[in-house]
Amino acid sequence: GARVGVVFCGRQAPGGHNVVWGLAAAVRRLGGSVVGFEGGTQGMFAQRAVEVDDARLALYKNQGGFDMLGRSADQVRTEAQVAATEAACRALRLDGLVMIGGTHTGSDAAALAETFAARGVGTKVVAVPSGIDGDLVNNFVEATVGFHTACGVYAQLVGNIATDANSAKKYTYFVRLMGRKPSHIAVEVGLQTQPNAVLIGEEVADHRWTLPDVVRRLADVVARRAAAGKNFGVVLVPEGLIAAIPEVAALIKELNALFRAGVSAEADVRARLTPWCAALLEYLPEFIQRQLMLEREVHGSVQLSQIQTERLLAELVDAELAERARRGEFAGKFAAVCSFAGYEARCATPSPFDCELGFALGHTAAALLAAGQTGYMATVRGVTHGVERWVCGGVPLAAMLACARHSHGIHARIPPSSVDLSGAPFAALKAGLSSGGWADGEAYRNPGPTQMGGPTRDARPAVTELRCGNDGDYLSRLGKLHALLAATRERCTPGCDAHVLDTALASMSCLDSILNGMRDRRGAALE
Amino acid sequence: GARVGVVFCGRQAPGGHNVVWGLAAAVRRLGGSVVGFEGGTQGMFAQRAVEVDDARLALYKNQGGFDMLGRSADQVRTEAQVAATEAACRALRLDGLVMIGGTHTGSDAAALAETFAARGVGTKVVAVPSGIDGDLVNNFVEATVGFHTACGVYAQLVGNIATDANSAKKYTYFVRLMGRKPSHIAVEVGLQTQPNAVLIGEEVADHRWTLPDVVRRLADVVARRAAAGKNFGVVLVPEGLIAAIPEVAALIKELNALFRAGVSAEADVRARLTPWCAALLEYLPEFIQRQLMLEREVHGSVQLSQIQTERLLAELVDAELAERARRGEFAGKFAAVCSFAGYEARCATPSPFDCELGFALGHTAAALLAAGQTGYMATVRGVTHGVERWVCGGVPLAAMLACARHSHGIHARIPPSSVDLSGAPFAALKAGLSSGGWADGEAYRNPGPTQMGGPTRDARPAVTELRCGNDGDYLSRLGKLHALLAATRERCTPGCDAHVLDTALASMSCLDSILNGMRDRRGAALE
């Protein structure tokens, strides 16, 4: 039977254990066996493999975390890392390797599959999409394992905080939500809880709002509510926001360059900043200046997750409202309470959806390997429906790759998806928040804790429902188009009516011009 | 029919809405009606009363928060407050007033009932025990509404964090848990999640551990784990800990006295501290010095909830380990991640237990009022059993009162209960944590989100199971004693055997001496 290895490459995501379970169930049904690498990629390089047997699975089925096997750094990229992986796969005589993770993992799996094929390594490589950030969702991937659960925990907490705000009616809560640069988590939690304001990094960047712009907009919401006698509210702040504000991003870039150049004494750093960035640094509250100057990652750059953006905004809004009060334009009260919803969600007990998605993807990975495929991402289509209507399949990782310019050259990688500002989820959020709606009222929704049974058992992420729920997924729409093209070709074989031919020709020429024009515009926008 | 008013007096606690529901259901069954005061005690003083009808109840049954009616300050104590309450009760012709809250509310209700009786106000007063802190649990009250749910949310989050620690194996998490001075929440969450260390304020105070003592003990746990190759862990820190460390408590007392005396410039404050407290302030990390000096409540005292005790301990443990490393006594890695589990629990969706407890207590309050009782606390006994075995009843608030010395004289009040260091819950916690157990292993337990159905539906707080589960509750043990005394009296009526009389006399004299001795020792300890 086939021998398949499995490794957790990305960050912890609820449902990851079920991927291993689904994989092991399918591989073993076909007479094979599964080994897991302990300690993530580092453990794989060191060939620390353990048998995934029933005793091990029994403890971790439907449980959160990656602790069945553990994880370490997320990377299989350098030549040394690839060579160590090759050695491990050869030593363990693996027919297949399943890598569980996000965009980085998918990119690495694509390159690894190519390398293995070129070097004659017999191990096929398949990736499984997981991660709480939701930024691996694209035309092929409807949902990643863990996003639903993590957002469910955050929505539970934000819902409780909103109920708290509306009970004592004296605090404005600023809640920062963990997550990478894209604001998908903020969109989902916003839709689930209906707070008074939700900042979205992509929107801020798109409008090129400055920090004072963002502060003024929040102060407007607070002031309007105060004018109606309501000195309380809830504001959601995505962790990635700080890097989405153009001038703050510029400041961070300058600081990182200085830190990497070895400039570290505070006075030196300040003296070497451009006047514009130095002025911005001065404008920021003292605690944020300190966090920017002192909290650095190993390789010297500013540690974004340590920046208390929610406190920064609360203090600046407070200052703005004090200024308005001096001008007689604000007579309310403003008391902010700041909090961070972070590490407590990514190892939560998975929701039934994430349990089923993980298991299905593990099963699918086994099927792809059994079919001899390599360089594929396991996928499930139709996830908004019940499991009985899910369509499992695989997509070549190459179809998701794009070119990105790095300091060391140009690399092909799977780009993290941003919040689509013209998409249905963002539109629904903005419609809800618009003045007179969630912003001014108390439309708070408290979804409560994730339930393993009962009427909410089969819930799906709101963004997935809005994105995939209506007119079918990308691949089935592609299938419909191909069917139409084939039908037209059939209709217009030699001997067809000349009118039919002319009509089809005119129509297709017209479409061809339109699509050429769209490509040009898109090409221009990319430069 | 009877007219009953209800008011939320204490802080938000999950299940509070069900108290109102249970009360309204019982009062209306007897032909009466219930009005609720909007905006807590302030709303009561202003006579803002609304009918509690089905339409209102429908939205809030089994839901968290106090937003059905809202709350404000928790106090009905000054003559003006009592007079306003009397005016409201007279104006609305209330036959009964139900006050939902904790120890302060119970104390106020006791005094209010006396005052109303003395002044001939016909309104009977009954209190219902609620609050997430669990410090109103005493010989008569087995559980307060909301403790189970709030601890369940905290345990869910801590469980997730422990799974996270054990997945990536690189962080030591310091989690601060909201709560007043007693560490009941830390005991419950510790028992639920089995982390590597749990600090208990009462234990620290009892041993008179200094801050360096606490830091050394934590550093010992970290170092022992590191020696076994485990550079990760989970530490629970109760919010009230900071005030339980003797010398920190002394520093806070001095700071408060200076602030109240109008000394506020930083240099002035430092100059006026006793040398001992000034030295301690210097020893503390800069951010804590700032929090102690700058974050003050309205009346000028240090705002304990703003002190990041978890970060204080993490930084001091880091410094201690760095010092040990210099001495060659520590070779591990230590990376701390700090977080605060706070406002996101007290308005959570109530657990089935808190739903049922709230409803039962509301019903009981109605029964006490219907029986003409005043100055009572509604209680439920046998809560560890299924609802069908619960015994509802009432206890005179006077039975819970004790005398406390305040700046304005001596007041009778219900004392908040501390963690009983000789009780079963604390013993179970210490037994688990003892070296070789939770401290050195990964016995982490992740209880997951609160379930409204399924096998965990009827869960109870672990501390309640340990305290009440075994040999019956206080009142039933009291009943057994009284039965034994009565039986002995029956046996020893005139005409009984002289040997029987002598045996009983000797035995009772002996017991009397023992109990006298116990009273003396207890009296001495209290002085």
- Kindly state the tokens that stand for B442: 């990964």
Candidate from A71, A341, A453 with C-beta closest to B167 = A71
Is residue A213 annotated as a catalytic residue, yes or no? no
Q: Where are the beta strands (DSSP E) in B64-200?
A: 96-101, 124-129, 172-177, 197-198
Hey, are the CB atoms on A343 and B450 less than 8 Å from each other?
A: no
List C-alpha distances in Å: A30 to A18, A363, B395: 18, 11, 67
Residues A221 and A155 in one domain: yes
Decide if pLDDT at A522 tops 80: no
Residues A168 and A140 in one domain: no
| Mean pLDDT of all residues belonging to chain A | 91
Looking at residue A304, its amino acid is L
Residues of A in contact with B315 (CB under 8 A): none
Question: What pLDDT is stored for residue B294 in this prediction?
Answer: 74
Residues B307 and B356 in one domain: no
Question: What pLDDT is stored for residue A491 in this prediction?
Answer: 86
Hey, are the CB atoms on A160 and B71 less than 8 Å from each other?
A: no
In-domain check, residue A380: yes
- Cα of A143 vs its chain's centroid, Å: 10
Residues A366 and A398 in one domain: yes
In-domain check, residue B297: yes
Looking at residue B147, its amino acid is F
Question: What pLDDT is stored for residue A498 in this prediction?
Answer: 85
Min distance A173 CA to chain B CA atoms (Å): 10
Residues of B in contact with A169 (CB under 8 A): 39, 70
A137: alpha, beta or left? (left if phi > 0; alpha if psi -120 to 50): beta
In-domain check, residue A171: yes
Helix, strand, or coil here: A526? helix
- Cα of A235 vs its chain's centroid, Å: 21
Min distance A269 CA to chain B CA atoms (Å): 22
Residues B97 and B158 in one domain: no
Residues A120 and A41 in one domain: yes
pLDDT in tens, A308-356: 899 999 999 999 999 999 999 999 999 999 999 989 999 999 999 999 9
Q: What is the mean pLDDT of residues B224-252?
A: 93
**CATH number of the domain to which A450 belongs:** 3.40.50.460
Q: What is the mean pLDDT of residues A302-306?
A: 77
Hey, are the CB atoms on A453 and B453 less than 8 Å from each other?
A: yes
pLDDT in tens, A5-64: 999 998 999 999 999 999 999 999 999 999 999 999 999 999 999 999 999 999 999 999
Hey, are the CB atoms on B168 and A70 less than 8 Å from each other?
A: yes
Crossing angle of the two packed helices B184-193 and B424-433, in degrees rounded to 10: 50
pLDDT in tens, B296-345: 765 667 777 778 899 999 999 999 999 999 999 999 999 999 999 989 99
Candidate from A12, A341, A454 with C-beta closest to B164 = A12
Q: Confidence band (pLDDT; 50, 70, 90) for B525?
A: very low
Torsion of CA B510, B514, B516, B519, to 10 degrees: -160
Residues A181 and A142 in one domain: no
Residues of B in contact with A146 (CB under 8 A): none
Residues A68 and A173 in one domain: no
Name the catalytic one among A74, A108, A133, A440. Answer: A133
**Angle, alpha carbons A233-A234-A238 (nearest 5°):** 155
Question: What pLDDT is stored for residue B299 in this prediction?
Answer: 61
In-domain check, residue B525: no
| C-alpha to C-alpha distance for B330 and B351, rounded to whole angstroms | 44
Q: What are phi and psi of B257, to 5 degrees?
A: -65, -40
Question: What pLDDT is stored for residue A527 in this prediction?
Answer: 35
Place of tokens 């379970």: A21
Question: What pLDDT is stored for residue A297 in this prediction?
Answer: 65
Candidate from B340, B446, B450 with C-beta closest to A449 = B450
B169: alpha, beta or left? (left if phi > 0; alpha if psi -120 to 50): left
- ipTM surpasses cut 0.90: no
pLDDT in tens, A191-204: 999 999 999 999 99
In-domain check, residue A506: yes
Q: Confidence band (pLDDT; 50, 70, 90) for B526?
A: very low
pLDDT in tens, A487-510: 888 888 888 888 888 888 888 888
Print the domain residue range for A304: 147-347+419-459
| B170 to chain A: closest CA residue | A72
Residues B320 and B201 in one domain: yes
Q: Confidence band (pLDDT; 50, 70, 90) for B518?
A: confident
Candidate from A64, A166, A454 with C-beta closest to B65 = A166
Residues of A in contact with B346 (CB under 8 A): 160, 164
Q: Confidence band (pLDDT; 50, 70, 90) for B473?
A: low
Min distance A227 CA to chain B CA atoms (Å): 18
Q: What is the mean pLDDT of residues B120-148?
A: 95
| A155 to chain B: closest CA residue | B344
Decide if pLDDT at A524 tops 50: no
Hey, are the CB atoms on B164 and A339 less than 8 Å from each other?
A: no
Hey, are the CB atoms on B451 and A448 less than 8 Å from each other?
A: no
Rg (CA), chain B: 26
Decide if pLDDT at B348 tops 50: yes
Q: What is the mean pLDDT of residues A389-401?
A: 94
* Percent of chain B whose predicted confidence (pLDDT) is above 70: 95
Catalytic residues of B: 133
**CATH number of the domain to which A37 belongs:** 3.40.50.450
| C-alpha to C-alpha distance for B21 and B24, rounded to whole angstroms | 5
Question: What pLDDT is stored for residue A330 in this prediction?
Answer: 96
Question: What pLDDT is stored for residue A502 in this prediction?
Answer: 85
Min distance B448 CA to chain A CA atoms (Å): 5
B53: alpha, beta or left? (left if phi > 0; alpha if psi -120 to 50): beta
Hey, are the CB atoms on B70 and A169 less than 8 Å from each other?
A: yes
Residues A158 and A250 in one domain: yes
* Percent of chain A whose predicted confidence (pLDDT) is above 90: 72
Question: What pLDDT is stored for residue A526 in this prediction?
Answer: 39
Question: What pLDDT is stored for residue A370 in this prediction?
Answer: 97
Question: What pLDDT is stored for residue A470 in this prediction?
Answer: 61
- The count of structural domains within chain B is 3
Strands A3-8 and A96-101: parallel
Decide if pLDDT at A158 tops 60: yes
Hey, are the CB atoms on A160 and B347 less than 8 Å from each other?
A: yes
Residues B258 and B109 in one domain: no
Hey, are the CB atoms on B67 and A173 less than 8 Å from each other?
A: no
In-domain check, residue A203: yes
pLDDT in tens, B398-413: 999 988 766 666 778 9
- Kindly state the tokens that stand for A522: 């898109």
What is the enclosing helix (H) or strand (E) of A191? helix A184-193
Torsion of CA B398, B399, B405, B409, to 10 degrees: 20
Q: Confidence band (pLDDT; 50, 70, 90) for A472?
A: low
Residues B54 and B131 in one domain: yes
